[in-house]
Chains A and B, each alone.
Chain A
């Protein structure tokens, strides 16, 4: 595959990643949110695969496979199961002020591009423009965590943030060293299990997964 074609494919996937990040902010249905998360994982795995193919970095094939297994299969599957057990798969969250949230999102994207621009043009890889997109999707996931008031969407925002970071790692460098990548994957997986345990504890204690009940601990 010529370098320009793979570069363009990666730019396309990066744009998709950003679009998915915006879609996640506005998605009210929890089930669709998990689907979006799985799609984001797929885009990530594809882009890693293309980078691996075009640069010939062997270990990136492995990390593409790891992304596919962890983020497209394992994590969404765990989330589906949890939602079925907690019986919240048809939950719809009321989001107020979607337009203004989106405006804030656009400002964040511009900020991320500005922040990344002096670094991006130092990147020797084929992925010059993508560091800004990676940072933007991290910030957008952060925004999503702030505006969501329910436990599961907040966790999906957290995981999407990790996706953005992973994209930053593959786009600015050719992926982190293997041992670090495995460690991060293990942390994410264990973290997901602990989130699952928390969902049950929160439901048991507060009778819902709405985080609005959890505002007792405040400085007065």
Chain B
């Protein structure tokens, strides 16, 4: 019941807002729908913690401790983003960038996007997982081009085509997986259900599964933004409206990585070797290094933080690939803190670029003079994402580094140098934007800064103290992924 309402609320929200999304109260209704989704997700999470995994709707919906934590995180970030987008979109409308019809599209698609994310997380059928990931591209493609500027249309086209082609590879991988499982489980619906596959994973044909994993990693890896399949990501983040950038970084990338990890569990079981992990480590490390060196060359603030997302997704992919309890625990923690921090940064960046009237970093100066909250939000967010203690990103990166030194020492210098380069690039650019002579103006509506500080507060808390039930939860999830 809880599991199904998590899916039903955003779906209904999408339909309702498609009809009435142009009204003035649509933003409030959207936020209300997201709040309801979040409450349902929280209730579901409590239930899973108390009673263990849940399998409902003819085994089509499966929730265990790994995905319920992502369900809660996804619903939470979607809710805070809807709070942020209310004043943000009003200001954009005030500046004449958006019409009521565009807002209707935005509100409706935002809910449907949340629905696809939650469907991808909760489904037990890896075919449906693919369908939901493709649907996520469909719902966000028109949002990236919401402003209808030439650059935004180009970015959206690139996003649509590249992710479409990428995800087609994942479909081929899914077909191969079905081909292997059908031999063991027999034809029919059962052969694509993750719970069934997980039971018989040791019997699956290794040759087929290793080929399938290559296709799945390339396919879903395109959506994770792994180098060299990342070229859609900075464009889509920079040209779309800021709430969309926040959910792309905060939710979509996580869910795509979730898909890769789910598949990795099956492949590891069948292959009994480290092939999947090695591939993930390679792609992950390459993403970290390349993204770190691209950071310093960026001029557009959203583009820069998009590259930072690639870097962090690379760190997580590397850590999941490395496996083992510590690295997996750290990767899960990093998923949480990155998602919270990066969406907080995008909230602050959104208001900062509205105040300056541009996304070019050289022209955003002295935020702190006119609006200390936006300035501090951006500064603290940047420090948090760069892994400064006492924020949670420090904890997870530190754990990943120690695990690396322990099991893959050769990779440590690459990681450390990349983190250093990223620090120099981002800190050097954010510092003059926040301090110094001001170039910004007042906004016609008060900005929404509560979500920024709530997110940063949570990240700070996770850095200082991880509540025992949360730690148990991560440990349980880590045990599922990497026994």
Contact = CB atoms under 8 A, between A and B. Distances in A.
Contact of A216 (B145, B150, B175): B150
Contacts of A173: 175, 178-179, 182, 187
Nearest to B299: A220
Interface in A88-103: none
A160 to B, nearest CB: 11
Contacts of B297: 219-220
A5 interface: no
A124 B332 CA distance: 40
A198 B155 CA distance: 12
B297 to A, nearest CB: 7
Contacts of A168: 172, 175
Nearest to B183: A124
Interface string B152-192: 01111110110011001001100110110011000111011
B138 interface: yes
A202 B172 CA distance: 30
Contact of B171 (A165, A186, A213): A165
Interface string A185-205: 011001100110110011011
Interface residue SS majority, chain A: helix
B235 interface: yes
B48 interface: no
B328 to A, nearest CB: 29
Interface string B108-152: 000000000000000001011011001100100110010011110
Contact of A184 (B60, B171, B187): B171
Interface stretch (B204-212, B315-323, B375-383): B204-212
Contacts of A191: 134, 138, 164
Interface residues of A, number: 50
Given A165-B168, A205-B150, A179 B189 contact: yes
Contact of B175 (A145, A172, A194): A172
B208 A176 contact: no
A118 B205 CA distance: 11
A40 to B, nearest CB: 16
A198 B157 contact: yes
Contacts of A213: 150
A2 interface: no
A41 to B, nearest CB: 17
Contacts of A174: 187
Interface in B33-63: 60
A119 B179 contact: yes
A1 interface: no
Interface of A: 57, 115, 118-119, 122-124, 135, 138, 142, 145, 151, 154, 158, 161-162, 165, 168-169, 172-174, 176-180, 183-184, 186-187, 190-191, 194-195, 197-198, 201-202, 204-206, 211, 213-217, 219-220
- Closest A-B pairs by Cβ, 9 of them: A180-B127, A183-B131, A214-B154, A177-B189, A172-B179, A187-B134, A217-B235, A169-B175, A205-B150
11 contacts: A158-B168, A165-B172, A172-B175, A183-B128, A197-B142, A202-B153, A205-B148, A213-B150, A214-B154, A216-B151, A219-B294
Given A122-B205, A145-B165, A216-B154, 16 more contacts: A135-B172, A168-B175, A172-B175, A173-B175, A173-B187, A176-B127, A179-B60, A183-B127, A187-B138, A190-B138, A198-B145, A201-B153, A205-B149, A214-B157, A217-B151, A217-B155
